[in-house]
Chains A and B, each alone.
Chain A
């Protein structure tokens, strides 16, 4: 490999770490990004002649830090606006390059800080940790670039003005704060999962980015729920080639061609799940991954251990008593016992206002009526579901079910 491709490789693997340390050392996102780019420019100029240093990341951080400080000094002479920044920055001391992974972890907690709006947390994480451009973030989140840019600018301003620190939370706060980090990663994953029909020109896979983030976090801060979330995403994502047909129509788990599942990724997911289950207590992500694992290990719907799935949903419901989980539990019970048993459980849920407006509730009822042979009731429920969803693939799926009923 020539020096230039080696530098490219280093950029790919190390630029986020270099930038995380520079953000801490310089106290400013934009200045740090500029300094990081300048450090790589210097590397491209100097390394082909001088050779690549033993510790490229340390060299880049030192060079970037010097450039950043120069920049602050120039601005200081030009205006007083940056004087606060200079006070906070120990200009003479070199940044510590032995703990750059810690800086990346600190930056993750800063980007996923609950004092920032959730949309801003997503955008900032994709921008600063995953290294996407603002245009890529906007496109992946199906937003206008100007909206995304404004969100990022506002979030950075709040971090500066409200003094959100770069730090891994104290032990007492860690479980709560880690929850927000995991939530952001899972939101990024689901955003990628549901908008798979969106703009594919930029070629950014949000599901892939979320998995990469979880792998990074699993290394930096090993723990049961991080392993569980990683397993859950790997197992769900392993079905990506089987979830839609060529026209983009949804294919249910029952009807998916299981040959199309990514079996190598399933083994990786199962291995992470095993690690997660060794660490107690078992949290909600690990339970959801356990459910996905039962599906992944079954050769067909009939071969699926629905009893185990029903028990896992029961355990999940005890931790998170939400009507959506109760809905899934009812479906599992129907599959284990009879459609009528499932319908009885669904009837108990009908009192929840939110669930009445949730199209999957009606779609689940329709499916159980269909299985029990009550086609008129199935038709009404499919129509209720159809009236409640705005998403194209879901609408096409439900319309197809109604047509199938007519032909039955």
Chain B
């Protein structure tokens, strides 16, 4: 079986961290990924940029609706994810608008964040 582990937290907790605490957390994550990789358990994973960088795409009546911010409809549940390789946000939004559930749900497009180099 394959499983997706989704990571949630309040960004305010991260924002109130000292630089040292943030650095240590990143290093801990890097070490964790290495451990999982050694065990042959890691397929892929990627931290995301904060929600400020998020954009939501919906398609209704064949019209692509783009809005600032993360998806906020509490009636909708997470149903899947795509990791896309796009030149810029315009291309990413174009690709996202062709994901079929965009016609009745929402696709949140968020740039990934690269982990800092290992110490």
Seen from chain A, the residues whose Cβ lies within 8 Å of a Cβ on chain B are: 114-117, 120, 154, 157-158, 161-165, 167, 169, 173, 176
Contacts and interface: CB of A to CB of B under 8 A. Distances in A.
B90 A162 contact: no
Contacts of A154: 52
A165 B92 CA distance: 11
13 contacts: A116-B68, A154-B52, A157-B52, A158-B53, A162-B55, A163-B88, A164-B88, A164-B89, A164-B90, A165-B87, A165-B90, A176-B63, A176-B64
A96 B84 CA distance: 32
B88 A114 contact: no
B93 interface: yes
Contacts of B67: 114-115
Interface in B68-90: 68-69, 87-90
A162 B87 CA distance: 11
A117 B49 CA distance: 18
B39 to A, nearest CB: 32
A117 B69 contact: yes
A162 B69 contact: no
Contact of A167 (B49, B52, B53, B90): B90
B47 to A, nearest CB: 13
B53 A114 contact: no
Interface of B: 49, 52-55, 63-64, 66-69, 87-90, 93-94, 110-111
A163 B54 CA distance: 11
A58 to B, nearest CB: 27
A162 B111 contact: yes
Main secondary structure on chain B at its contact with chain A? mixed
Contacts of A157: 52-53
A169 B90 CA distance: 8
A117 B70 CA distance: 12
Contacts of B111: 161-163
Contacts of B53: 157-158, 161-162
Q: A-B pairs with the 9 shortest C-beta distances?
A: A114-B66, A115-B55, A165-B88, A117-B68, A161-B53, A162-B53, A163-B88, A164-B89, A162-B89
A240 to B, nearest CB: 33
Nearest to A166: B88
Contacts of A162: 49, 53-55, 89, 110-111
Nearest to B55: A115
A115 B66 contact: yes
Nearest to B88: A165
A304 B101 CA distance: 50
A115, A116, A158 pick with most chain B CB within 10 angstroms: A115
Contacts of A158: 52-53, 68
A115 B64 contact: no
